[in-house]
Chain A
Amino acid sequence: MYTVKFYKGEYLERQSAANTDKAVAYVEHHFNSAGPTANYALVVVGSNASQTSVNWGSWYAKAVAEQFGTQVYRPDGVARGGLDGRGDGNVKHTTMPAVLLEPLFVSNPQQAEIVRSAAGQAALARILAESIRRFFPQGGLIAFSVGHKYKTGRPNDRGAALAGGGAEADYAEKVLQQAAALLTEAQRETQARKLRVMQGDRLLFETPVDEDAVVVWSSDRQLLYIPD
């Protein structure tokens, strides 16, 4: 079972608060920016990162690259300690596995279009949620941080401009919000009681039923029913 909390303020404050809350995983979402032809997924982990952070980041970067037909930052999609230390301070102060995501280049017009599109945001959210379920199957509190946005020192910072319009941080926030919904709604669905009709391993029919509903099989009527 997952709960998701968005952390705001300076990056160090966000990490400290997530530590206090005993989050099981920490995600800070950015997008990268360079030239119009830059074309790879990058995940920054702290200089003190655990192997879980490295594996999680690498899995995520490869999944994004496969989804959008791009590359990963060589060799495995992960920059340990960031590029020349940049981004290290955004994740190295957590006591739980932490990643800083830069899945696409918003300076690349094709990738900026993906970031602006509902389908692109949904795909990024799905990959992120799937990565969390895969690496933290036991559930728990997931800490989300929108890169650039909500810093007290620079409240107007929105990160890089997208080629063609828009700001990095606003789209990072949309992706995180969708990922949060996937993580929390999925569990509501799985928690809900369902009536399933199966043929072998194949699902023929599925419908939610009330938690306290009594389901009765009538051999006379050849009917499965819920009495009034």
Chain B
Amino acid sequence: MRGPLRLVVAYALSLAFALQAIAFAVDERPATGTLRLQLWFSNDRLNPDAMDCRAVFPVERRVPMTRGVAAATLRALFAGSTPAEAAAGYRSVFSPASAGLLKGVHIRNGTAYVDMHDLSQGLSGATSSCGAAEFQAQVLRSLQSYPGIERVIYAFEGKPRSFYEWMNESCGPVNDNCDSGPFGAGR
């Protein structure tokens, strides 16, 4: 296959994967087989002094096939690293205590809207300067394993303001001024 044609085919395949991933995020029909996920965690061996708090590194997981790929990814991420991964230095503010954090996720126009239960008490360190950067880098990079996701907007119980106030972040253009509309029941 010649170069330009190969590029076109690769582009078409990645586009198909992106559309499939987006479709998976909203299609709850049962699926069969296994799904390979890429999760991104901090790593104390690869970034020992944590000078760059946004530095995250991938691990792979296999989970039962689902059409809700984004939700499956976040559920796995929010349960934290496995003992084997932890032994290799992979680390997160997420842990089995936060496994039930995800309330819902949907994707629209390149934005992933991540709604969480308010389990802030179980996320020790996530609002420190470095811990917050790690939290958001891990979520963003894990979701960006699938094409088409450019940014993430978060909410606690459907309220972005509640999340961003907890995170010590102002509401502004970066987080759509904490607009709760996309998280509403009527979306």
Decide if A87 touches B125 in the complex (CB within 8 Å): no
Tell me the bound Cα distance from A79 to B120 in angstroms: 25
Taking beta carbons and an 8 Å cutoff, which residues of A are in contact with B?
10-11, 30-40, 42, 44, 71, 73-74, 79, 82-90, 102, 105-107, 148, 153-154, 156-157, 159-161, 168
Partner of A85, one of B125, B127, B170: B170
Q: Given A84-B133, A156-B121, answer yes or no on A33-B165 (Cβ-Cβ < 8 Å).
A: no
Decide if A35 touches B51 in the complex (CB within 8 Å): no
Decide if B134 is an interface residue (CB 8 Å cutoff).
Answer: yes
Q: Which residue of B lies closest to A92 (CB)?
A: B170
Contacts of B168 in A (CB 8 A): 11, 82, 86-87, 89-90
Q: Which residue of A lies closest to B128 (CB)?
A: A33
B96 to A: closest C-beta gap in Å = 15
Taking beta carbons and an 8 Å cutoff, which residues of B are in contact with A?
42, 44, 48-51, 53-54, 91, 120-121, 124-125, 127-134, 136, 165-170, 174
Decide if B121 touches A34 in the complex (CB within 8 Å): no
Decide if A107 touches B125 in the complex (CB within 8 Å): yes
Partner of B136, one of A36, A42, A82, A84: A84
Q: Given A85-B170, A85-B174, answer yes or no on A37-B128 (Cβ-Cβ < 8 Å).
A: no
9 contacts between A and B (CB under 8 A): A34-B53, A35-B48, A40-B51, A83-B53, A83-B133, A86-B132, A88-B170, A157-B120, A161-B124
A226 to B: closest C-beta gap in Å = 56
Which residue among B44, B128, B134 has the maximum number of chain A CB atoms within 10 Å of its CB?
A: B128
Q: Given A73-B51, A159-B127, answer yes or no on A83-B132 (Cβ-Cβ < 8 Å).
A: yes
Tell me the bound Cα distance from A159 to B130 in angstroms: 13
Tell me the bound Cα distance from A130 to B124 in angstroms: 31
* Contacts A89-B168, A157-B120 known; 14 new A-B pairs at CB < 8 A: A11-B168, A32-B131, A35-B44, A39-B49, A44-B129, A71-B49, A85-B170, A86-B133, A87-B129, A87-B168, A105-B50, A107-B131, A154-B120, A157-B166
Tell me the bound Cα distance from A220 to B142 in angstroms: 89
A-B contact count (CB 8 A): 103
Tell me the bound Cα distance from A56 to B121 in angstroms: 33
Decide if B91 touches A35 in the complex (CB within 8 Å): yes
Tell me the bound Cα distance from A83 to B130 in angstroms: 8
A184 to B: closest C-beta gap in Å = 29
Decide if B131 touches A33 in the complex (CB within 8 Å): yes
Decide if B129 touches A89 in the complex (CB within 8 Å): no
Decide if A102 touches B128 in the complex (CB within 8 Å): yes
Decide if A85 touches B129 in the complex (CB within 8 Å): no
Q: Which residue of A lies closest to B161 (CB)?
A: A153
Decide if A34 touches B165 in the complex (CB within 8 Å): no
B156 to A: closest C-beta gap in Å = 11
Decide if A42 touches B129 in the complex (CB within 8 Å): yes
Decide if B49 touches A40 in the complex (CB within 8 Å): yes
Q: Which residue of B lies closest to A89 (CB)?
A: B170
Tell me the bound Cα distance from A112 to B129 in angstroms: 17
Decide if A34 touches B120 in the complex (CB within 8 Å): no
Partner of A31, one of B48, B53, B128: B128
Tell me the bound Cα distance from A84 to B165 in angstroms: 15
Tell me the bound Cα distance from A106 to B129 in angstroms: 12
